[in-house]
Structures are given as C-alpha cells and as structure tokens.
Amino acid sequence: MSNDFYTLKVNGENHQVLDAWTGESLLWVLRERLGFPGAKNACEEGECGSCSVRIDEEIVCSCLVLAGSAIDQEITTIEGLAPEGELGDVQQAFIEAGAVQCGFCTPGLLVTIDHLLEENQNPDDLTVREAISGNLCRCTGYGRILEAVQIAAASRRGENHE
Amino acid sequence: MPVTVARSLDDALSALEEHPNALILAGGTDVMVEVNKGTRPVEQVISIGRVPELQDWEHEGDWLHLGAAVTYTELMGEELSSLVPALAQAARTVGSPQIRNAGTIGGNLGTSSPAGDTLPALFALDAILTIRSKTTVKEVPIDEFITGVKSNSLNPGELIEKIRVPVLEGPQEFCKIGPRNAMVISVASFTLLTDHQEKQVKSCLGTVGPVPIRPIEAEDFISGEVNWEQNTVRPEVLDNFAALCSSAARPIDDHRGSAAYRRHAIRVLSRRAASRVFSEEIS
Amino acid sequence: MSDLKIETPVSGPRIGESAPRPDGVPKVNGSFAFSSDLWHKNMLWGGTLRSPFPSARITRLDITEALLIDGVQAVLTHEDVPGQNLYGLEHADQPVMAEEIIRYEGEPVAIVAADHPEIVRRALNAIQVEYEEMAPLTDPELAEETDFIHPDGNLIRRINLRHGDQEVQGEIQVEGIYEVGMQDQAFLGLESGLAVPGEDGGVDLYISTQWLHADRSQVASCLGLEEERVRITLAGVGGAFGAREDLSLHVHLCMLAMRTNRAVKMIYSREESFHGHVHRHPAKMWYRHHADSKGNLLRVEAKVLLDGGAYASSSGAVIANATCFAAGPYRIPSADIEGVVVRTNNPPCGAMRGFGAVQTCVGHEAQMDKLASALNMDPVEIRIKNALKPGDKLLTGQTITGTAPVAEVIQTCAEHTSTYQESTDPMSLPGGAGRTADPEHISRGEAIAVGFKNLMFSEGFDDFSSALCQLENGVATITCACAEVGQGFVTLAQQITREILGVEEVILAPAATQTVGSAGSTSASRQTWMSGGAVQKACEEVRVKLLEKLAVEHQVDIDNLVLVDGQVTSLNEDFTISLEEATSEPLEARVEYRHAPTFPLDENGQGDAHVSFAFSAHKAVVDVDPELGLVKVVELITSQDVGRLLNPLQAVGQLEGGAAQGLGLAVMEEVLVTEGNIRNASFTDYLIPTALDMPPVEIAAIIEQPEPGAPFGAKGIGEPPSISSTAAVVAAIREATDLELPRVPVRFTDIVSVEED
C-alpha cells in the first residue's frame, strides 16, 4: 500500500518522502515525516484552518491535500514565513497585539494573514474577517488578532508606528 | 505508482483507462475528509487539479465553458462573477477561503450532495456536462447527471471535463441559510436567474430535496406575470411565486433543520430574491 | 524531542504592564511543542475502541483477530488495568475501560498500540465486541425515579438552600422555566500525549492537562504505582476551558507504554474528542421571583436541575455553584433554592468555564427582565437598585467581606457610548454571505445582563498551590506546576518575579510533578491568586533570605536595602552590589500558598463556603431577521470587576475570548444528543463563532478595587466574561423579537414559528 517515494518542496527545499502510505494527507506528512510540526491538526476535516499552508500562490487546508499529489508545488508552512531566528512582520504583530493565547490556531492564521497582506496592504475590518473566517480561534474572540493584522498592514505599507 | 498527478487531459484519461475505479481527486475538500476518517479506501488516485484543460474556462458567444477544475475562488473572480453572478454568490458561501481555493465545481458535481452549493445555479441554468473517458465523450444535462442523494451517472473510467452554461442577460440572486455566518452547510438555498432576452425567470431550490428542485410551475407563473419592459411585478405575484416555490420543496427533518422550517425558508427567500430583481408595481 | 523549557527575553515589564508572553516567540514561529507535536524514537501510536451505544452490556469481547495484524504491539482491556479500574475528580466512579456495563456513548472498551495510526485503525476494527443494548436513561427529570444505572445511584448531589424568612411573599411575582443546552469546550488542541516507560518500572507522561497532580494521583492508583513513579510533565496545551480537568487518555497511554515497553503517542480525532471529555451541564431551571411594588427583591424560589451524564466528574461542585449563585449578584433576603444534579446515560458533564453560574445567569437575568417589565421599571434601574454591596449577605448567609462593585459594573456598562463604526456592507447582516436579508427585514435589540461567581475552590476544600523560586547569578528560575493553557499565567509569573526580585531574566522551568508540588487546577479563575500567590510568596522568601545574607555579610542595615533593576542598594549607607554577584551562590525557597479557609454548606445550604467573588456585566446589540430566525450579534460591551489589573493586554484577551464563548452558547453552540447519541460530533455541525460571527468587544470599564487578601489585590478574570455574555445576547434577541425565548442556544425555529406537518 505504499508509494516508493516522492519529493515535496517545502519552504524552498526538497524533501523525500519514503515508504509512505498512499492515504496520508500533506498535514500528516509535514508533521510526522518531514519534521514540520508547525501546521496543526485540530479537526482534519477542513473546518478549522489550523492546518493552513500556502501551496504556490494559495492558502489551503493541508489536511485535505493528499501528500502524494502535492509534488512539484511550492509549499510554505509557518516554519518558512521568516528566515531561521527571525520573525516576520505578522509574527511580530501577533506578539505585540496580544493575539496569542494557547497558540494552536496561530500557525494557520499567520500563513493566511501573511498571504492576505501580500494581496491587500490596506484591508478593512470586514475583508480581514472574511479572509480569516476559515481559521477558528477558541481563546481570543479575534479582537487582538484583528489588531495584529492592522499593525502588520501598517508595517507592510511602510508606515512607522510606536 | 498509486498516485498519478496528471499534467494533461490525456494523462488523466490514460490513467483512468488503466484504473477505471481510481479515486479522482481535484481539490479534495470532500474526498479527503473521508480518507482522513478511514471511511474511504485509497488504492489508486488520479489527481486532476492541475490539468490545464480542466482548469481553464472560456466565454464563447452566449455560452460559458467551465473546466471541471475551476475553483470556487476563481468562480468569484471579477470576470466570471459578472458572467454568472449566482454561481459567484454561491461560491462565496462555500466553506472557507481555504476550501474555496482548493474546491472545484467538478468536485461539487462529483459529490452530488443535496446541499452542494453550486448545483442549484447549474440546475437553473440547465447546465450541460461534458463527460469523457479515454475513448468516449458525451454531453449530459445536469438533471440527468445528478441522480439522487450523493449519486450521479458517472461510470468507472469517466471524468467530468467541463460544464457549459448560458450567459444570461439580467440580474441573478443566490440566497443560502446557515446557522452561522461562515463555513456552513446549507439548510436551504434559493437561486433566481432572469433572462431578459427570453423573458424568463429560472430558479432552483437547494437542500430541500434529494436533488436540487426546479419549481417549474412557479417559474412559468412569474415569467408570465412580470412586466418585462418596466421590470416590475405586482406584490400578489411575488406572494404566489413564493407559495409555489415553497410547495415544490421536498425537505426532510435532520439535525440541521426541520422540514417545516425549510419549507418556510424557501417561501421567504424566494419572495425576497424576486423582489430584489424586480420592483414592486405600485397599484 | 522539542525542548520544553520556556525561555524569556532579557528585559521585561513588571506588575501592571502589558508584558509580552514568554512563549510568544515559539508559538509564532511554529516551534512551540504542543502535546500533539511530541515525538520519541521508536514510538508507537495508540488508539481507543469506544462503545457506539449509550447503555449496553458487553456480552463478548474478542481481541484475537486484532492481535494477529502485522504491526499491532498491544491490545488491552479492563482486565489489563494494573491497579484500580476506577477514577474520578470527586468520586472514583468511572472505569478506565468498561468491564461489562456501558453507561455512555463513547465509553472506552479497549485500547491498541501499533506501528502506524492506520494499523491502529485496522486493529480497532478487528476487535470483536458484542453488545446487548439496553434502554438508556436520557431524561434527567426521571433519573431519581428510575433504576440505578450505576452502583453509586442516580442522584449525584442535591442541595437544599433555605435563606432568611421562608414565609415572605412578594406583591409582584414572576415565574419562568428556562433551559440551557449542552455546550462543549471545543478547545482546538485535541487530547494528546506521549507516555514513555521508565527504567524504574514507572512511567513518564507528557500531556495536556489542567491539573498535573490530580492526574498523577488518579493515574498512579489505576496503574497500581506509587505516585513518585508516575511522572507527569505538562506538554503544550491548546486550550482547556474545563475539558481537561478530568482524565482522558492518561491511563490508557501509560498502560500501553508499560505493556509494550516503548514510547506511545495518542491523539484523539475531533469526533473522538467530543466523546472523550466532559461537557457543560445542560440545565432546566424553574424560577419564581418576588418583589415589592418599588422593585426591591424580596424572595427567590428556584429549582435547578443539571444533567450530569454517566459519571460524576465535578458535578457536585458545579451544582453547588449553580445553587449558591442561582439568583445573581443581588441582595435577596429570602430564598429557597433546590439544586440537583443527576446521573443519566447522556454524555458525562463536568467543568466548563463558568461552572454552573453560566446556566443560572441565563435564568436569573431573564427573571430580572420579567420583573422589570411587570413593574414598568427600566431593566438597568432594577438591577442597580438590588445590586450587592460589600457587607451584604449572599444566599448562603455569607457576608461579602471583599470588594463588590456591582452597581458600578452595571452602570458603566449600561451608560457606555459605543465607539464602534458599523459597516453598511450586506455581509454584516444576519446571514452574511448567504445574503438572506436586506436592511428592511432586520429588527435590532439591545439588552444588558449581569453575573457573578466565586473565585477558587469552596466548601472547605484544601485549595493550595506550590512554587519554587531559585536565584543564582542574577537569574531567577521559577518552578510551578500551574498548567498554562493559554491564559497567560506564564507571563504573570515572570512579572511577579521581576517585581519582587528586581531581576530581568526569569526562567520558567517545565511544569512537572516530580519537581514541585501541586498548583491545583487551572480553573475556577484561581491561578492568578493561587499560583501567583505561591510565586509571590516564594520570591518574597528568597528576597528576605538574600537581604538577610547581605546584611550579615556586609554589615549593613537590612531595613534600608532595596532590590531594584538587578542591584541591591542601601538607601542610607554606601553600599551596592549587583544581583549577579550577590547570588553567585544560589538561594531558593519552596512554598505552599493557601487562601483563607472556607467552610462546608450546612443542611440549609448556609455557610461561609467561598473566598471571593467577581462580577461582570455585558450589553449586547443584536440584529435579528424575524422571518428567518437568523441572528447577528452586532456588538458586545462589557464591564468587569478585576481587583487589580496585572497585565492589561492579557486581560483584554480574556474579556474578549470569554465573551466569544458566551456568544456561542447564546446563538449557535449545542451538543445535540438524541437517545444518548451525539448527533454533531464534528466542527461541521458543532459550530463555534468564526471571525465573521464575532463582533468587536468594547470594554466599558475595568474596575479596579483591590481585593483584600488577594495577591496584589487581583481577582481572577477568566470566567466572568463567559457568564453574563450569554444572558445579554439572548435578552437582546428578546428585545428585538418580543418573544420569551426561554432556551439557549436560540435556534431558527425558536424565533420563527412554523407549522409542523
């Protein structure tokens, strides 16, 4: 029942997946085989967004991607949002705004928001809410998360803020 | 190799000929839920989400040809949303942005759920599907394609290549009820299309029967009563239209809603949708 | 394996400042190790076979087929439980695995360890079980009249509270029957953990939990081991909200690890999670309020019935709370409250944020509105008129000796002018992208609700926390077993330490049973007070030890020594030394911290059972589509009594997050149970608010009146936001629709009346 092997490109580097079972999701392979536990597994049925990753230019639920079908694509996880040892602007903003409590929704949100701000550097409240409507958070009520997005957006626009 | 990532339509069809019972995977947003749960066995998979012929769409004259792998997000795009507004509105209510980026119109058809969000608009448009295998091609009207709850006429070795719908002249509406403002399975939906050229109203009830329901009696009634020059309609006509739509519904009771509520919801939604596209005549 | 030590940035804020979380960086860069992220060399995967029936007898259980599957390393049943096959928070009444009788859908029957989760799944399917189904007891109102479904009986606890003159009757009387559906904590981080067999025949368990030491004593008892050989370390927790106070996979994991002599990891699926933890008690409440013609409350009669489900968990404490706080934060001279929690074959219920007070707040606030209506009084005015003040007596006869700014909480909330700029986008209407309504179809309502509950544990429970403070080379290390579940205790621990010891760097050692005593549960809004108090006490003792040592060594007056910003300096003598140099030899203090004693309730429910209370109010603005029954909460405004604000940013997070859970219970969250079976065990159909459902939460006032006896004067703040929020939202829907709406969550069909066929 296994593939011989296949190669996935994650965060800019090729990784071989050996001796895997056909039905494994990308989420599973990232977390359990390739050493990228950042994406989370809160529901594994596409209802929470905690597994969100970027594939090429889009944000998708990695739990709904068959790992073996994600070959020849650029997969970006939370671990690839910033160079090692550094924090990207959205990550910084989350800490500054108090948008992290338990942190389980955080990786999915960061990937989603990073992508949103790439496309739109001045999103209004409703646009942000719709963009993150697929990312459930149980701890924060979204208030500090929305604040973090505005802080990061200002940063993207090149505005200084205290 | 158990997983074939097809790069062309021919790739996909050849793989399908070799493995006629293979799992056809595009966005995976329905199928992978079952795979993750362990309720769908996985042996051979043919991934078609990146086949250019299936990802493309084309506006040709009065017709729009949508490749089966066109995603919900793409249906919401500027051009497509102006060509088929009801489909774009329906797409916006599907799942989440993540789901919309991956999920496809072909997948929605393949799953054939009574709650499938693009299906009512496709029924109202009398969509025609092109079904292909390595050696055959056929055109299937949508109401012959969807045969029942989660069942369709696709045979082993076949896939949906594209969906053809007319581009109509006139406003369109899609309304869907869910218990929350995002990521909801439809409790009931109503689609309304206007064809000002043919002076026809087309509509469809969603999630209130085993398959989407065209309330033909209601459509014929209102089409005959609309003042197409003024784009107006009498309030009683709207009421009667709503009553006819509601009586065409065949809903069930389940944990998402009762049959009585669903019937009521269709009555309310149909009247509201119609009163958005037509002005009420002042008598 | 990921390093579980939490390190901090070098400089940091103190008490009262918005210190950033020490675990913020790993949480945003993806390196934070949640319990589901753990990995061990050569580890196996575990899984659980569960009963599909809520009430049954197992007539045959055959594991031989499963054992034959290649890759299966162990299949265990109740026969393999090494110690006692019973555990429980209040009473040990719940089997680790069912012996013969099944009492709820999802009750564990067998466990498996195998090389890969897919093999686990196949093994579970290969276990042959035959059940003789029995009729489940599902109606809590029948529980006391029906045959026992458990040897301990069907009554878990009854409290009869009688307060004041029982002959009092009011000129104005209003009655109501209210219901609250079963809410789920729905934390995102699924139940998960890793068990590693120890060389000493014991076991190391890395797990998400709320109370390490209570887990340890139950696990040790079930494994037949001394507590010292069960070592529990807190792994990263993805939210708790009460659902991790009881054991879930703990004993199962340890058994599999000990049997296979390999590390075993287990993660529940979301569906399994719904079956694997306790839920909020569904409630049915009968109320009669008596008042005089001026709106003074005279008497409250109530019966509160909670459905405890199959096992007791913390039901006894939940009903006590529900009873004590049944009538709300008002002065009531006479009361007759009966609180009952019973056992049924429904899913077991236990702790969830708010713990009994959420349910009764729905009841008492609906009653207050009914009274206001009957008296033609403003709903805010009648609440302020009767609001509790310090010196007043509660229904339990206990006098409030601490702060109770109830009137202020209500007033500030009611009078707040919102700054929220509403959107005119159709997406903001009820129905959202579903575009079901236009503005002319919408009715708006606004209403206020008030709630309260106790902080910490009650009724004489020995409630304490422990901490170890070590100071060496100018760096402080704090060891405390307080379970960080997202609430931000880790941040406070650093702030407190910096405040007292003047250090910059504060290291937090992993929370583990083998290095420090119990911190009690992360629940009851108690950790700021209790573990904050323990950390404060430990740091104080170290400070005193340091100053005493310096005073002797350097012949300086101890009374004039101050410890600030990494320096110890004398105020009146020429002496200063860096903390780093002064602590080249380590100093430490290990403490236990207790709050003031509490006492049991007597046979009339009277007694000084609680330590302290916190109060909150919410104002909700809602839009309703009355023809379709769809609701959009437009805004929430809140005031809360916090004693003292220790970290403003984290406090806002609690107020906003708790309000979201309250909103969820008001309009969308319910575990639907039919004949004992859960119908919606998934996030597809158990709905929690998304960013499109949740409005802004505007804070009208955070009221700081320092609480006597509380460390830094600070009250716990976690629960009140989830208490009055539900009641406020449903009251606002009543305003918009003019319907009674006695039940939450409010469903379409509660608002729209449709003719059934």
pLDDT tens-digit profile of C109-148?
Answer: 999 999 999 999 999 999 999 999 999 999 999 999 999 9
Burial string for C238-272 (b: 16+ CB within 10 Å, else e) reads bbbbbbbbbbbbbbbbbbbbbbbebbbbbbbbbbb
| Separation CA C703–CA C615 (nearest Å) | 10
> Could you please report the per-residue DSSP string of C550-574?
HHHHHT--GGGEEEETTEEEESSSS
Q: Is the pLDDT of residue A19 over 90?
A: no
Mean of the per-residue pLDDT values of chain C: 96
The percentage of chain B sitting over the pLDDT mark of 90, rounded to a whole number, equals 95
Put simply, the answer to whether B97 touches A25 (Cβ < 8 Å) is no
Per-residue confidence at B183, pLDDT binned at 50, 70, 90? Answer: confident
The band of B283, judged by pLDDT with boundaries at 50, 70 and 90, is low
Q: CB contacts < 8 Å between A and B, how many? A: 99
Quick one: angle between helices C406-415 and C379-386, nearest 10?
160
Contact B98 A47 (CB under 8 A): no
Structure tokens that stand for A85 in this block: 């040892």
Contact: B257, C748; criterion CB under 8 Å: yes
Query: Residue C584, exposed/middle/buried by CB under 10 A (0-12, 13-18, 19+)?
Result: exposed
Nearest to C187 among A38, A81, A138 (CB): A138
Quote the pLDDT of residue A162: 47
Distances (CA, A) of A96 to A145, B77, B228, C21: 10, 35, 58, 9
- Residue B183 contacts C, CB cutoff 8 Å: yes
| Predicted TM-score of the model (pTM) | 0.97
Residue C709: CA count within 13 A, CB half-sphere: 13
Q: Rounded to the nearest 5 degrees, what angle is found at the Cα of B272, between the Cα atoms of B270 and B273? A: 65
Interchain CB contact of B100 with C (< 8 Å)? no
Does A136 sit within 8 Å of C688, measured CB to CB? yes
Query: What distance in Å separates residue C507's CA from the closest CA in chain A?
Result: 19
Closest residue of chain A to B71, computed from CA coordinates:
A58
Characterize the bridge pairing of strands C155-163 and C334-342. Answer: antiparallel
Cβ–Cβ contact A125 with C under 8 A: yes
Cβ within 8 Å, pair B29-A112: no
Which of B37, B76, B96 best tests the A interface by mutation, with the highest count of A CBs <10 A?
B96
Identity at C648, one-letter amino acid code: P
Question: Cβ separation of C423 and A130 shorter than 8 Å?
Answer: no
Q: Are C752 and B261 within 8 A, CB to CB? A: yes
Q: Which A residues in the span 51-90 are in contact with C, Cβ-Cβ below 8 Å?
A: 77-79, 81-82, 87
C650–A98 CB contact, under 8 Å: yes
pLDDT of residue C7: 39
- Contact flag A43-C186 (C-beta cutoff 8 Å): no
Residue ranges per structural domain of chain A: 5-80, 89-156
CATH architecture of the region A89-156: Orthogonal Bundle (1.10)
Superfamily for domain range C35-135+190-237+244-276: Aldehyde oxidase/xanthine dehydrogenase, a/b hammerhead (3.90.1170.50)
Whose CA is closest to C641, among C596, C724, C701?
C701
B175 has a chain C CB within 8 A of its CB: yes
Q: Which residue of A has its CA nearest to C485?
A: A102
Chains that touch C (3 or more CB pairs under 8 A): A, B
Q: Is the pLDDT of residue C714 over 50?
A: yes
Q: Chain A residue with minimal CA distance to B98?
A: A60
CB C113 within 8 A of CB C48: no
Q: For C595-645, list the strands marked E by DSSP.
A: 612-625, 630-641
Cis-peptide into C348, omega within 30 deg: no
Do the chains contact at C37 and A133, CB–CB below 8 Å?
A: no
Q: Number of C-alpha atoms within 13 angstroms, CB side, residue B97? A: 28
Task: Give domain C279-458+601-751's CATH number out of 3.30.460.10, 3.30.365.10, 3.90.1300.10, 1.20.1730.10.
Answer: 3.30.365.10
**C interface test, pick of B181, B256, B276 with most C CB neighbours within 10 Å:** B181
| Alpha-carbon gap: C658 to the closest alpha carbon of chain A (Å) | 7
- Does domain C24-32+464-594 fall under CATH 3.30.365.10? My reply is yes
Write out pLDDT tens, residues C593-624.
999 999 999 999 999 999 999 999 999 999 99
Question: Residues B52-107: pLDDT tens digits?
Answer: 999 999 999 999 999 999 999 999 999 999 999 999 999 999 999 999 999 999 99
C366 CB burial (10 A radius; 0-12, 13-18, 19+): buried
User: Alpha-carbon distance C160 to B2, whole Å?
Assistant: 67
pLDDT, mean over chain B: 96
d(CA C565, CA C504): 7
| C683·A43 Cβ contact <8 A | yes
pLDDT of residue C3: 37
Q: What is the pLDDT of residue C650?
A: 98
- Token pair for C734: 């009543």
How far A160 CA sits from the closest chain B CA (Å)?
A: 30
Mean pLDDT throughout C94-99? Answer: 98
Partner-chain contact C434 B176, CB within 8 Å: yes
Q: Which residues of B touch C692 (CB under 8 A)?
A: 180-182
Could you tell me the two tokens for C742? 């006695």
Structural domains of chain B, ranges and CATH numbers in brackets:
3-51+61-166 (3.30.465.10), 172-278 (3.30.390.50)
* Chain A residue whose CA is closest to C39: A32
Q: Is C269 helix (H, G, I), strand (E, B) or coil?
A: coil
Which is nearest to C368 in space by CA: C451, C425, C307, C434?
C451
Residue carrying the six token digits 């040892």: A85
Side by side, the strands of the sheet bearing C128-133 are C101-102, C56-62, C128-133
The CA radius of gyration of chain A, in Å to the nearest whole number, is: 16
For chain B, where are the E strands, in sequence order? 3-5, 23-25, 45-47, 57-60, 63-67, 128-132, 137-141, 146-148, 151-152, 159-166, 172-177, 188-195, 200-206, 232-233, 279-280
Q: How far apart are CA C330 and CA C301, in angstroms?
A: 14
C424-457 burial: b if 16+ Cβ within 10 Å, else e = eeebbbbbbbbbbbeeebbbebbbbbbbbbbbbb
Counting residues of chain C whose pLDDT is more than 70, the rounded percentage is 98
Torsion of CA C515, C519, C520, C526, to 10 degrees: -160
What is the CB-side half-sphere exposure of residue C618 using CA atoms within 13 A?
Answer: 35
Hey, is C591 helix, strand or coil? strand
Distances (CA, A) of B236 to B117, B283, C552: 30, 11, 98
C160 pLDDT exceeds 80? Answer: yes
CA distance C670 to chain A (A): 15
pLDDT for C5: 39
Q: What is the mean pLDDT of residues A94-122?
A: 98
**pLDDT bucket at A159, cuts 50 / 70 / 90:** confident
- C351 closest CA partner among C155, C209, C232: C209
Residues of chain C contacting residue B173, judged by C-beta atoms under 8 Å apart: 435
Q: Which sequence spans correspond to the domains of chain C? A: 24-32+464-594, 35-135+190-237+244-276, 279-458+601-751
CB contact under 8 A, C672 and B255: yes
Mean pLDDT over residues A26-30, rounded? 97
Contact in structure between C276 and C244 (CB atoms under 8 Å): no
Distance between CA atoms of C515 and B73, rounded to whole angstroms?
53
| Contacts of B120 by beta carbon, 8 Å cutoff, 6+ apart | B90, B174, B189, B190, B191, B204, B205, B206, B212
Residue B114 · residue B207 · CB < 8 Å:
yes
- Average pLDDT of span C734-754: 95
Task: Please tell us whether the domain made up of A5-80 is placed in CATH 3.10.20.30.
Answer: yes
At residue B272, the pLDDT reads 98
Q: Do domains C24-32+464-594 and C35-135+190-237+244-276 have the same CATH topology?
A: no
CB C742 within 8 A of CB C176: yes
Beta bridge pairs of residue B137: B132
Residue B5 identity (one-letter amino acid): V
- Which 3 state secondary structure label does DSSP give B243? helix
